[in-house]
Amino acid sequence: MQTRTLGRSGLSVSALGLGCMGLSHAYGPATERGEAIRLLRGAHERGVTFFDTAEAYAQGANEELLGEALAPVRDAVVIATKFGFAKGVTTEGLDSRPDTIRAVTDAALRRLRTDHIDLLYQHRVDPDVPIEEVAGTVRELIAAGKVRHFGLSEAAPEAIRRAHAVQPVTALQSEYSLWWREPEAEILPLLDELGIGFVPFSPLGRGFLSGAIDASTTFAADDFRNQLPRFSAAARQANQALVDLIATLAKERDATPAQVALAWLLAQRPWIVPIPGTTKLHRLEENLAAVDVVLDGDALARIDAALAGIAIEGDRYSPAQQQFVRR
């Protein structure tokens, strides 16, 4: 597995990390614990050193899972987790008050079975707490040895600048993929300027870009995608043109659509580290092989030209969910 450094922070991680949310939260029933632990340990055995979780993923259960699975290799991996949702529940609103940040961090340390968190993100910017206060609190946690690096998620450029001035931001985590390119306008140039790494979540469009989902796909009743406008049957049908394009490019390279989608992200900047999630070992292996798929300048130009002719249908979040991003 290749490695990459997140911005100018010096934090080196595998070129592809593992988003662990889906093992416990959001995409239907949680994966059986033993199976999930085998997947996590299998990821490390295959070179993954960067694992992403959050308090809000099943109210800490995902952190507990990682803590158990990665305990034997703790010193060889980088664990990222997040604070910011009230009571650790995404539907309860936001809470980034300093006392809450400190309490959530201590709880995460216990669940993760560790004495430090490598990368601690604010999950969403809290408009009721000045970002400088949030950054200052994390700075204190870093000084205390409980946290190594500070990150933000789905933050707007102004918030990133203000936080970075108080405590250098190591990484921004936001959605970025072939069907959500909004970060290219302002976010990527800003991160380049400030020396901040970028960690795209949902790099495979929550599974859509892999080609495994179409207009006829039915999701489990508690699957988060049922709430997303972009995953309505009509939107999936309209967006099939993008999947068809990726499939064509993949066939030309003897690769899979998922590998092309990840390779495209890796080609955008040397400090981008996508974190695709999966619950299946064969999908994990497929994703990790994306580091060997090379897209040269001509291929990237062809993709850009083709994408310019495809109009993506459907918002990525509902209005209620959208209020929490780009603050």
- Residues with a catalytic annotation lie at 57
Q: Which residue has the higher pLDDT, 131 or 320?
A: 131
Q: What is the pLDDT of residues 76-96, one digit of tens each?
A: 999 999 999 999 988 889 999
Least confident range of 14-23, 143-152, 221-230, 246-255? 221-230
Extents of the domains making up the chain: 3-322
Least confident range of 7-16, 66-75, 117-126, 247-256? 247-256
Q: What angle do CA 241, 247, 253 make, to 5 degrees?
A: 145
Q: How far is CA 232 from CA 32, 132, 225, 262, in A?
A: 28, 39, 9, 24
Select from 81, 165, 172 the least CA-distant residue to 130.
Answer: 165
The rounded percent of the chain whose pLDDT value lies above 70 is 97
Helices (H), the chain: 33-45, 61-70, 98-112, 131-143, 157-166, 187-194, 233-238, 240-252, 257-268, 281-288, 297-308, 319-322
Residue 15: per-residue pLDDT: 98
* Cα–Cα dist 224/226, whole Å: 5
Q: What is the pLDDT of residues 182-201, one digit of tens each?
A: 999 999 999 999 999 999 99
Question: Taking the domain 3-322, which CATH number applies?
Answer: 3.20.20.100
Q: Which residue has the higher pLDDT, 118 or 58?
A: 118
223 by Cβ neighbours in 10 Å (0-12 / 13-18 / 19+) ranks as: middle
Give the pTM: 0.92
* Residue 322: pLDDT over 70: no
